[in-house]
Amino acid sequence: MARTRIGIFGSTGSIGASTLDVLARHPERFSVDVLVAHSRVDPLFEQIKRFRPATVGLVDAGRRAALEERLASLPAAQRPAVVVGQAAVDELAGDPALDTVVAAVVGTAGLGSTWNALAAGKRVLLANKESLVAAGELMLDVARRAGATLLPIDSEHNAIFQCLPADQAAVVGRAGLVGDSNEIERLVLTASGGPFRERPLADFAGITPDQACAHPNWSMGRKISVDSATMMNKGLEVIEAARLFGVSAERIEVLVHPESVIHSMVRFVDGSVIAELGEPDMRTPIAHALAWPERIESGVAPLDFGALAGLHFESPDPERFPALRLAFEALAAGGGMPLVMNAANEVAVAAFLERRIGFMDIPAALQAAMTHFAGNAAAGAPETIEAVLAADREVRAWAASWCDARGSATALGG
Ligand code: NAD
Ligand code: MG
């Protein structure tokens, strides 16, 4: 059997590393043909030596010389072709030499590569939720037209996918399947509640980037860690679920479950609830989507029920986590509103990580952007990918000046 040829966009990140860990267990089944990173050449070089891709993409042209210098130490036959710059790297995602693309770039920066992979009809393992939130229906349209297979590796969506009846699961990303079903009642997205679930609200203003990035259950990149702390991550996931499974906001429920053992659930009309359980380890959803509809070993430890102190559930606290409410509002408003929310969030999270604004300024930035762009966004979702990118740039510029003004007004220390 020919091996499945894999490209990993965002290979040096947290999802990229988990994906390579799974792939390394199955060399007879998968080959690693393309690796893409933004600028970190040291981890990229280690991956090149180990996995021998034919091509590597480096977004940051300023790091090209550093990469070439390392590659020069390899025998000529082991040196991959090097592609540099965002547009050229994004094009690699449509390369006929790839069967499967793992979309693991963080943020809307992943839109180009995710789009190109779908347009080329590939199997796309989607971690990059921001691009689906920003581009919405357009992205599903391109996937359907090209006959692509869009499989979620975000753990909640992968869990829901696993809980759906097999005949319906097989068309995910190609039709609004749950929305049309008279058997499925609701999707239940579980949330850990992040590191501040029990922190007194009065202390939220003093939260630092390192505190926000110390997630209790999952080890992830810094942007998604901050999103988990504000619960914007769950907000993005509500929109991601609405898009992937074709359901309205009223049929999506968010449930805080601090142990992160149940990764999400589906409620059926007969009262049954089907859940997917396991250790909180991204290698499970990644392995599932790599091999689907088969199953392969992932390296994840078996779930030890005896070691569980219990499974707990509570409703999310709207005072602590206004970003979650804003995401439901953005989804209900429709049109370009999810794009506005997502772009403002990326800018605000970056400003928070650079200590230019405070933690609670993040939801304030979202609210401000959503109010400011309400008229424009209601006019409808952008109809081309170029229009999506232009709208994203416009919101970012506005949000950047909002953050500047907020930052100088509050003058955070050190
Ligand atoms: P990360 O910060 O650890 O890694 C990001 C990767 O993207 C890096 O390899 C970086 O080089 C690359 N990158 C950054 N900018 C780029 C650009 N302009 N072009 C090409 N590559 C670029 O992030 P992560 O935690 O791995 O998250 C990646 C995506 O997966 C995010 O969308 C996140 O929401 C989603 N996700 C992550 C997890 C997790 O457990 N980490 C879980 C679910 C979903
Ligand atoms: Mg998730």
- Preceding amide of 209 cis, omega within 30: no
Task: Pull the structure tokens for residue 95.
Answer: 């390369």
Q: What are phi and psi of 104, to 5 degrees?
A: -125, 25
Residues 271 and 247 in one domain: yes
Q: What is the dihedral of CA 317, 323, 325, 331, to 10 degrees?
A: -150
Q: Tell me which residues have their CB within 5 A of the ion that is ligand 2.
A: 154-156
Distance CA 298, CA 18 (A): 10
Contact present, 248 and 187 (Cβ < 8 Å): no
Of the three residues 119, 152, 185, the one that is the final residue of a domain is 152
- How far, in Å, from the CA of 395 to the mean position of ligand 2? 25
281 within a domain of the structure (yes/no): yes
Q: Which ligand is nearest to the CA of 220?
A: 1
Longest Cα separation, the chain = 63
In a domain, 326, yes or no: no
Of 240, 247, 244, the C-alpha closest to 179 is 247
Say whether 210 sits in a helix, a strand or coil: helix
Would 52 be classed as within a structural domain? yes
Residue 32, pLDDT score: 98
Of the candidates 188, 258, 255, 254, the residue with the CA atom closest to the CA atom of residue 217: 258
Predicted local confidence at residue 128, as pLDDT: 97
Are 131 and 166 in the same domain? no
Residue 73 assigned to a binding site: no
User: Does 182 carry a binding-site annotation?
Assistant: no
- Clarify whether residues 218 and 237 are in a common domain: yes
Give the model's pLDDT for residue 414. 44
Provide the CA 212 distance to its chain's centre, in angstroms: 18
Expressed in angstroms and rounded, the spacing between residue 183 Cα and the centre of ligand 1 is 35
Centre a 10 Å sphere on the Cβ of residue 50 and count the other Cβ atoms it contains. 11
Residue 77: its pLDDT value, please? 93
Nearest-CA residue for ligand 1 atom 27 is: 106
46 with 188, same domain: the answer is no
Q: Which residue from 20, 24, 22 is spatially nearest to 9, judged by alpha carbons?
A: 20
User: Domain span at residue 404?
Assistant: 334-414
CATH code, domain with 395: 1.10.1740.10
The encoded tokens of residue 328 equal 């439901």
Q: Is residue 325 part of a domain?
A: no
What is the count of structural domains for the chain? 3
User: At how many degrees (to 10) do helices 137-146 and 232-245 cross?
Assistant: 40
Instruction: Note the ipTM here.
Output: 0.99
Q: Are residues 144 and 181 in the same domain?
A: no
Lookup: tokens for 318:
């709207």
* Ligand 1 mean position, distance from CA 228 (Å): 14
Can you give the length of the chain in residues? 414
In DSSP terms, which residues pair with 82 in a beta bridge?
Answer: 56
Residue 119 lies in a domain: yes
Cα 33 to middle of ligand 2, angstroms: 27
Q: Of the residues 122, 152, 182, which one is the last residue of a structural domain?
A: 152
Q: Which helix (H) or strand (E) holds 120?
A: none
Would you call 119 helix, strand, or coil by DSSP? helix
Residue 95 marked in a binding site: no
Strand order in the sheet with 252-256: 252-256, 184-191, 262-268, 273-277
Question: Is position 63 within any domain?
Answer: yes
Residue 218, pLDDT score: 80
- Residue 61: which residues within 8 A CB-CB, separation 6 or more? 84, 85
Test site for ligand 1: of 8, 9, 12, 14, most ligand atoms within 8 A of the Cβ: 14
Q: What CA dihedral angle connects 378, 380, 385 and 387, to 10 degrees? A: -60
Say which DSSP state 164 is in. Answer: S
Per the structure block, which two tokens stand in for 311? 């499974």
User: Do 112 and 223 share a domain, yes or no?
Assistant: no
Atom of ligand 1 nearest to the CA of 154: 43
- pLDDT score of 379: 66
pLDDT of 114 = 97
CATH of the domain at 63: 3.40.50.720
Q: How far apart are CA 340 and CA 350, in angstroms?
A: 16
Q: Which residues of 291-302 are buried (b: 16+ CB within 10 A; e: fewer)?
A: bbeeeeebebee
**Low-confidence residues in the chain, pLDDT < 70:** 167-180, 378-379, 411-414
DSSP state of 314: B
What ranges in 214-373 are assigned the alpha helix state H? 222-230, 232-245, 283-291, 322-333, 337-353, 361-372
Q: Is residue 327 part of a domain?
A: no
Instruction: State the residue for tokens 């239940």.
Output: 188
User: Is residue 372 marked as binding?
Assistant: no
Q: From 105, 131, 152, give the residue that closes a domain.
A: 152
In what helix (H) or strand (E) does residue 414 lie, and over which residues does it extend?
none
Question: How far is residue 318 from each of residues 154, 232, 322, measured CA to CA in Å?
Answer: 23, 12, 5
